């Protein structure tokens, strides 16, 4: 998932970006409210993690403006304050959740998962395709009941393809969703990772669950199952 973090404290920003990326998120950081608001209205994100006290626009002002524009992106508000009034104001303005600093990355990760599931109406936690099972919360994969070790990138790639069986993703789309930034169009990193994932989730004698669509990209086979 692609997350926008708007946070001006260097230590908290660094800690949060590092921690979320280790959890498999694509994270973009803005250090002031004006830039954060501009990005939030011009680019698609799966969720915003928004500090309240910011240079430029404050977090509540950003939240109010987004909701006034009927932008429904899930928003988690960060605050160093513990006062009830500020939390209530944020929720009344349309925040989906809040966290009081300091916080644990594991808790932020769980809250992001919760608000994005609610926003999409998705209560799915485990995707299955035959004897392949992918747990979206614990990020664990099993094949025939046996654990499969995937790296963070490999897991994100498998999740992307498996969520919409039959949909073809171009290499550029895969790069954007899984890596979050532009590569040289001639790079073969997607093909390398596809081979790695195939090697871990396919039986050597069976047809691969991930199909190559020549000249276009890749898709998860519909007849292999899905969410």
Residues 189-213 have pLDDT tens digits of: 999 999 999 999 987 556 799 999 9
Q: Which of 55-59, 119-123, 144-148 has the lowest mean pLDDT?
A: 119-123
How far is Cα of residue 124 from the mean position of the Cα atoms in its chain? 15
In CATH, what is the architecture of 126-224? Answer: Orthogonal Bundle (1.10)
State the pLDDT confidence band at 183, using cuts at 50, 70 and 90: low
State the pLDDT confidence band at 227, using cuts at 50, 70 and 90: very low
> Domain segments of the chain: what residues?
2-120, 126-224
2-6 and 26-30 strand pairing = parallel
217-220 and 210-213 strand pairing = antiparallel
Q: To the nearest whole number, what is the mean pLDDT of the chain? A: 85
State the pLDDT confidence band at 22, using cuts at 50, 70 and 90: confident
In CATH, what is the architecture of 2-120? Answer: 3-Layer(aba) Sandwich (3.40)
Provide the pLDDT for residue 115. 86
DSSP labels for 3-23? Answer: EEEE---HHHHHHHHHHHHHT
Chain segment 122-145, per-residue pLDDT in tens:
555 788 888 899 987 778 899 988
Strands of 130-222, DSSP E? 132-135, 140-143, 146-148, 169-170, 210-213, 217-220
Query: Which tops the pLDDT comparison, 117 or 8?
Result: 8
Count other C-beta atoms under 10 Å from residue 202's C-beta. 16
């Amino acid at each position: 998932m692609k997350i926008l973090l708007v946070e001006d404290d260097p230590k908290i920003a660094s800690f949060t970006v590092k921690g979320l990326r280790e959890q498999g998120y694509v994270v973009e950081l803005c250090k002031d409210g004006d830039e954060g608001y501009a990005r939030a209205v011009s680019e698609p994100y799966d969720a915003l993690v928004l500090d309240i006290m910011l240079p430029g626009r404050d977090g509540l002002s950003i939240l109010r403006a987004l909701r006034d524009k009927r932008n429904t992106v899930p928003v988690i508000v960060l605050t160093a304050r513990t006062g009830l009034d500020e939390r209530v104001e944020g929720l009344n303005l349309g925040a989906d959740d809040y966290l009081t600093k300091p916080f644990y990355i594991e808790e932020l990760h769980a809250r992001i998962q919760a608000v994005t599931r609610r926003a999409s109406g998705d209560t799915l936690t485990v995707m299955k395709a035959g004897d392949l099972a992918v747990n979206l919360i614990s990020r664990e994969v099993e094949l025939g009941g046996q654990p499969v070790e995937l790296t963070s990138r490999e897991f994100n790639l498998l999740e992307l393809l498996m969520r919409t069986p039959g949909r073809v993703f171009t290499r550029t789309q895969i790069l954007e969703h899984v890596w979050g930034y532009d590569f040289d169009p001639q790079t073969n990193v997607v093909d390398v990772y596809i081979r790695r994932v195939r090697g871990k989730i396919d039986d050597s004698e069976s047809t691969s669950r991930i199909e190559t669509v020549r000249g276009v990209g890749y898709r998860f086979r519909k007849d292999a199952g899905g969410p």
